Amino acid sequence: MNFLIRFSVFISGCAVMIVEIAAVRSLAPYFGNTVYCWTSVIGVMLAAMSIGYWAGGLLADRFNKPGTFFSALAASGLLISLIPVLSHPVLQKWQYSLGVRTGPTVSACVFLALPALLCAMFPPFAVSALTVKDLPGKAAGSVFAVSAIGSIAGTFLTGFVLIPLFGLSKIYAITGAILFLTGASGVLCCGKKFLLLHVLILTPAGLFCAFNFRTPALGDMILFHKDSAYQQVQVGRSNDHSIIWLFLDNTVHSGRWVKQDGPLFSYENNWKLAWLLKPDTSKVLVAGAGGFSIPRAILDLHPEAQVETVDIDPVLEETGKKFFQLDQYPQLIRHYQDARSFLTQAKQFDLIFVDVFLGKYGIPFHFCTKEFFHTVKSALSPGGVMMMNLTSAVRGPDSALYRALHSTACTVFPRIVSVAMNPDAFEEEQNILLLASAETELGRDFFLSREEKIMELGLAGICAKLTEPDQPGLILTDDYAPVENLLIMPR
């Protein structure tokens, strides 16, 4: 029995960390992969475990019935297995009614608190049970050590094995099943009374969960679905079958027309400005591959150009070949690593197009800082241009992100101009293209003097879209970059 107790402590510690890491991935498609998601999950789990430790110690002193605690483990496993089944339809509704801070906190309380509490009840019982044979200090030390080792194993197992190899639904199912079987084994060793409880209640419930555990329905329009090491990747088709969409964490990132050419999003055409600003542009880097729409468009018009892409997620290679005609562009050089890390290499480019932001709440902060812009500047050839796509308002309370990025870029690049895709509604969130260069002229007068050339490029009306912030924003650095806060609190 002592071995089973220690093994159960290990499994409970392992399960808690697996669920904690997986939960952040589960919430990201609905509330963004932000610091608020991590804070909510970690905070709620710690609060629930604190209550569980207290309750477990109280029960261990008053009753000290092993079957009670093994049953709690089995019940926790059952609840963990049910997380994706129960959470998917609820989170779909909450993502529109709860904010980026409230949503993750409420979701963690509803779906994670009880399983964590039940798991945390076991270690106090283990200390009490092992004290019969060992001294209290030795018993407590061994329980804490085994639990910590289980947590360490669960942490590395989730990040390096489970998430890269399995979808989140399978991770919850496997974790819940192992925890359930561990608890059931303990119940089986505790006598007829608890065995009867297990057979009549927990076993049928566990079997029901196992046989009804399915990945949430994706719908007829979803053609591809995979949980990568970095995000949830889906490819979908519009209802009229005219568009193939790429969804990253439930956010539309890019797409292509099925039966016609041309960009889906207005900002995607503005890469042509690079040839206006630097006519001899020949080396291009697109940071953020997505559906490869921009590099494909560049190569269609400039097949002689050397175009490279860099993206952190290699799953996009698979979706690119299956759905976004990547096989038709063998000359396109693809890299799969963090784009900022890639830019630290010695290679220089005439155009660096930064398209790594995933909507409003999928913004990696290290692409927003003064140090990042210095890295980009050092990777540009003389006269080279950076273009950065972001989603923000130009004016008003929702413009904090744009103002911060513009002000931060201004500390590095002496010449900057912005192109707003919807100049008639500056206070509405829209795609904004930030152009920056160390040498090339980017002023409004320059664009006005090149209006004929702009017309030839198919960018008529671009001069009306030129803009700049109405007030300065926060300067972002690697040390201080509260990007998530900018999205919900006007500055």
- CATH number of the domain at 381, please: 3.40.50.150
Residue 251 lies inside a defined structural domain of this protein: no
Q: Quick one: pLDDT band at residue 207, thresholds 50, 70, 90?
A: low
| Alpha-carbon torsion angle 393, 394, 400, 403, nearest 10 | 150
For β-strands 380-392 and 430-437, DSSP reports them as: antiparallel
> Domain end: 150, 182, 211, which one?
211
- Please check whether residues 65 and 206 belong to one and the same domain: yes
- Please check whether residues 479 and 410 belong to one and the same domain: yes
Residue 315 lies inside a defined structural domain of this protein: yes
Residue 170 lies inside a defined structural domain of this protein: yes
End-to-end Cα distance, the chain: 60
**Edge-to-edge strand ranges of the sheet holding 251-257:** 222-227, 232-237, 243-248, 251-257
Report the alpha-carbon distance of residue 135 to residue 32 in Å, rounded: 48
Residue 233 lies inside a defined structural domain of this protein: no
- Please check whether residues 106 and 166 belong to one and the same domain: yes
Residue 72 lies inside a defined structural domain of this protein: yes
pLDDT for residue 159 = 87
- Please check whether residues 428 and 305 belong to one and the same domain: yes
- Please check whether residues 159 and 269 belong to one and the same domain: no
Residue 223 lies inside a defined structural domain of this protein: no
* Each residue's pLDDT tens digit, 15-50: 999 999 999 988 888 887 788 889 999 999 999 999
- Please check whether residues 307 and 400 belong to one and the same domain: yes
Range of the domain at 117: 2-211
Number of domains comprising the chain:
2
Phi-psi sector, 109: left (phi>0), alpha (psi -120 to 50), beta: alpha
- Please check whether residues 192 and 278 belong to one and the same domain: no
Report the alpha-carbon distance of residue 483 to residue 485 in Å, rounded: 5
Q: Which residues contact 242 (CB under 8 A, 6 or more apart)?
A: 257, 258, 259
pTM summary value: 0.81
Given a contact cutoff of 8 angstroms between Cβ atoms, the answer to whether 462 and 419 are in contact is yes
Q: Average pLDDT in the 50-66 region? A: 88
Residue 255 lies inside a defined structural domain of this protein: no
Handedness of CA 484, 487, 488, 491 (dihedral sign): positive
Report the alpha-carbon distance of residue 342 to residue 340 in Å, rounded: 5
Q: Quick one: pLDDT band at residue 373, thresholds 50, 70, 90?
A: very high
* Each residue's pLDDT tens digit, 453-480: 888 888 888 888 888 998 999 999 999 9
- Please check whether residues 376 and 479 belong to one and the same domain: yes
Closest by alpha carbon to 478, among 355, 365, 363, 373? 365
* Each residue's pLDDT tens digit, 304-314: 999 999 999 99
